[in-house]
Structure 1
Amino acid sequence: MLENKGVIINAGLHLKTAEKLISAVSNGVSISDDDGARQLADKLRQNIYSFSAAKSFTQMMYYRDMMIGDDGHILPVGSFIKKIADTGEIFNKKFLTTEYENAHYSAIMASNWESFQDDDLLQYSTVGDSNVRPSHAAMDKYTAPKSAAFWRVNYPPNGWNCRCSVVPGKGHAINKLTEAEAVRQLTAENKDTPFYNNVGISKVIFKDNHPYFINSNGKETDLSWEQYGMNNIAKIRAEALAPYVTASLEEYVKWWNQQDKIKNSESIGFLDMFGSRIVLKKDSAKNGIYQHAKNVEFIITHPDEVWMKPSDKTRKVYLKYFEDETIKITVNNINQIEAIITIKKGEASEVKKLNEARKGVLMYR
């Protein structure tokens, strides 16, 4: 794979990293049947997949650089393995452990932010031991309204392995720092880092000034199936695929009337394979896609591939391969289904349409 210049990301490594970090988010956000918590988890999950792709891109480029010896020639396999012996441990254990802890605590703090009311007083709180950074200790017990500018850039976590938190404040609290001093307290150490942030507001754990994002320079958002080292459509169709069955208008109407509707709406919702609630509006189902409506839940819970499109208003694409066609479901950034498209096997534009669909940040294969 390293010698194939067309492969930029190891899809397996990328998805394994994402899975690990998403488990940290899942352990930090209690979802139950709360749509608000689901939306928060969905936003954090999207950031995790982009981060994992950028990390895997950085790791692949690093290994490629290590393949070249001091004389400018490709190293023998034995020399190359010796040269990178410790890097897998660094990328996939040491760094990943720290990234996991940061994702987990960030998810907790994002969830806590959502639970505070807009007019709440909040208090910065350290654990109070000798390991607390002096700059963080200076803000201990600082109290300000949730709407204060202070919280936009000083909401924990404020650094790797930061244990600070925010608790409800008291109206009679007297601050040691002025508002201006408090806002500036972490500017010097955090301004150019991913921690100059409020994860509860941004819904972003790993900001775009993280070194991995800087290294990938946005390339991770628009990579193709080829650059992930995945199979082409010919190899996919070499496997036995199930036939696709559509519904008549009469069958669709009967099915639609049997579905539980989302409260105060003429829409229905399904949980996809990630636990996100995907909404199918009545008008969408009537607008030429009624033949597919009964299959939506199966496709979004059992897709063959899912792609995120950060540069597009369509946030996600679910693909399912069948015997004579591929079904493509596009979902916008508020998880509403925008289109269900049939890409017929053997049609003149099949490969072009699939190449367009199989591009972005890979979320599942």
Structure 2
Amino acid sequence: MLKSLKEDTFLFSALKTNAQILEASQLLLTEDNKVKSFAAFSHDIEKIKSGYNQLYLESEYQFAITSWQMAGKWAEVLPNYYLQYRTAKDNHVRVSHQALADITLPSDDAFWISYYPPNGWRCRCNAIQVRKGKYPESDSAKSIAHGEAATSQIGKDGKNKLEIFRFNPGMQKAVFPPKHPYNKVAGAQKVKALVKEETGFKIGKQLKTGADVSRVMGDFATANPEYFVRGYQFTKATNKRGVNGYTTLRGDIYLKSDRITLVKEALNNIRSGNKTTFAQEDAISTMHHEMWHNANKPGNTRLSISQTKTMELANEFVSRKTLPEFMKKLGGELQNENLVNDRKSTGYNKMVRKYDQLVEWSNAHKTKVLESVKDHLISGDYNNQMEGLVKAVTKNSAFKIKDATIETLINYAKDESIPEEMYLDLLSRNKSLLVKK
């Protein structure tokens, strides 16, 4: 956590410097493109210095202090405890923030992803741990609506100036808003690339234990926080029967002991520049699958057996199709490309392969299908992943196909009693359902 917050502060400072230099460079010439006198140029520069180093600096300093403190508190949240939003309770509290006072919700509620304090410059609000049942639980949807109102201020350009504060410094291990305007200034992307090269993910020492795997994946999560929207906790071995791995969606990854060992070997090979084996990449795939669960923003919810299968279909589809990209982020390269289409070690393999056949049958744009399913997997509720799988096909197909038709065919794909060959034959015999747009 400390390392991440320091790196984020370093990045923000670099981006601010870039913005300041860019603005200064635009002051060298007059409106008619003549070089200003030194006195005039110096006078204009003083105005910039006053803005960046006095007016902005104090607000940024106060925000950084509060953000560091709240990130530290987030790291100390205990399992099964709730969080309660508290204001400073004086006449300086913003009306919009007062509306958030005493909101009490589980720490894994979606509200805390975007509205964990601080919620603006000079915000003094807090979130404290409370025992479950001590206070009435707030309505999550209404709380989120209050959070949206508290972080909304539409400027003259029609854009919401306060939306940048919708982040959680503890979850994202970030001191400053990831969408701060400094990120959009010309040259910002080059600055980010240079900073990432300096501070980004690298496998340092050779891994010897499972604890080393957890540490390295923690470093990876710091560099790639989108995989763990509620923050990363650990990677551990499990003896749970009937699974290769699992997660509670709270930043934890549990893998079978043999898979932990294979992941360790894979990371050591990547570190040394050696090729990874099939078994190692298969174990990496299991871990990657569980990581994608942690990328889902709404979080856990009650699911029926059918909804669970649908959710796992979407998750495995995305995790295997993005495996080459994940291997590159780790610093390696996928050697066994067949894992993208056929991963026999998972019980979800057949239904994913049948979904692949459905995409092929519908002549849907494969890249767009993946992006569509991925977007819904990240943002959509787990009990409604069918919508993402259906729309990914119907919206990106070369044919006009009814949503109900695709949903029926997906349910057939989920049916374990239907072999792949029979499913393919089913699709072939129903080509009449495909009508050109």
The structure that is strand-richer by fraction is 1
Higher relative contact order (CA 8 A, sep 6+): 1
**Structure whose alpha-carbon radius of gyration is higher:** 2
